[in-house]
Amino acid sequence: ARPGAWLLTTARRKAVDRLRRDQVYAARLAALQVETDRSAPAPGADPGAELPDERLQLFFTCAHPALPAPARGALMLRCLAGLTTPEVARAYLVPQVTMAQRIVRAKQKIRQARIPFRVPGADELPERLPGVLQVLYSVFTEGYAASSGPELQRPDLTAEAVRLVRILYRLLPTEREVAGLLALMLLVRARQDARTGADGELVLLADQDRSRWDRALIEEGTALVTAALTGGPPGPYAVQAAIAALHDEAPDLETTDWPQIVALYDVLSALAPSPVVALNRAVAVAMRDGAEAGLALLDGLAGEERLRGHHPYHAAR
């Protein structure tokens, strides 16, 4: 009945359809470009030459600076290291619901920002190294003191973490914090066989048979501590490794150099303050000055939200 109106309506609808098709087409082109970026190495880089291990390549790939540090660490632990969400939450001392939301937001950020999935070049490794070391240490910690399951320890996780850090140390021998982390892992792992009894129960440090400690790992770790502490101000892993070395070198609990351990915890508190560091320092102070001194420090941590579900705090009291 009204040809002009009909033509105008039809034209408008066809124009809208055309605009929608163009938008869809542009989105598909962008998606294809992302896929191309993911499969292509960085310009002028040979990722395989820098990172010969595929799992390390994935860790460095996911340690992208566009993601906040806690988010990318959580994502790597959940999606690459195979830890469950409760285990990841325990590593960060946050509720499980909080960690689940953090992981979901990290995935959304990757999609929305179209972060390219590619192995970083050699020039990008130093920026991403601290995040990778943090994740590997968390994997080792979960293996050394499992947060769930029937066994106290998960040797498969500790062995894999040590393997990857050994590779990093071969690739980056001048990175003192890599040496520090490897030293820390070896010195702690040296006590692994003595930490459980015949039926799998926990054996406290004071009751462990120190003849079962792995002397070869202790010697290797102690040499690495020296390298990690030489050449400039120490990093947090080097300081923790020095504390582990003092434990491993002592013939028994009573003759352990507790004043030196407290001094090292003072340094660590300045480098990387955290409730767990404060808790460990309080225990060392108790060993040096008596239980009353340690309890006074623990009372000061009573309001720390992140320690409420952290059973070592309550065990220490």
For 91-137, how does the pLDDT look when each residue is reduced to its tens digit (9 = 90+)?
A: 777 788 888 888 787 777 777 767 666 777 777 788 889 889 988 99
CA 192, 196, 202, 206 torsion-angle sign: negative
Confidence of residue 64 (pLDDT cuts 50, 70, 90): confident
pLDDT at position 33 is 58
- Residue with more model confidence, 267 or 38: 267
Instruction: Give yes or no for residue 189 having a pLDDT over 80.
Output: yes
pLDDT at position 184 is 97
pLDDT at position 165 is 94
- Residue with more model confidence, 41 or 258: 258
pLDDT at position 116 is 66
CA 218, 173, 72 angle in degrees (round to 5)?
Answer: 90
Instruction: Give yes or no for residue 67 having a pLDDT over 80.
Output: no
Mean pLDDT of the chain: 85
Instruction: Give yes or no for residue 44 having a pLDDT over 60.
Output: no
- Residue with more model confidence, 46 or 122: 122
pLDDT at position 47 is 40
pLDDT at position 211 is 95
Confidence of residue 45 (pLDDT cuts 50, 70, 90): very low
Helices marked H in 172-257 — which ranges?
A: 176-189, 215-229, 236-249
pLDDT at position 50 is 65
Q: Return the percentage of the chain with pLDDT > 90, whole number.
A: 47
Confidence of residue 150 (pLDDT cuts 50, 70, 90): confident
Which residues contact residue 86 at a Cβ distance below 8 angstroms, ignoring those fewer than 6 apart? 96, 99, 147, 148
pLDDT at position 104 is 81
Instruction: Give yes or no for residue 143 having a pLDDT over 80.
Output: yes
Would the pTM count as exceeding 0.85? no
pLDDT at position 167 is 92
- Residue with more model confidence, 73 or 305: 305
Which residues contact residue 28 at a Cβ distance below 8 angstroms, ignoring those fewer than 6 apart? none
Report, as an integer, the average pLDDT of 154-180.
Answer: 92
Burial code (b: 16+ CB inside 10 Å, e: under 16) for 12-42 equals eeeeeeeeeeeeeeeeeeeeeeeeeeeeeeb
pLDDT at position 224 is 96
Which of 112, 120, 105 minimizes the C-alpha distance to 38?
120
Instruction: Break the chain into its structural domains and give their ranges.
Output: 19-118+127-132, 257-317
- Angle 176-189/125-144 helices, nearest 10 degrees? 10
Tallying the residues shown for the chain, one arrives at 317
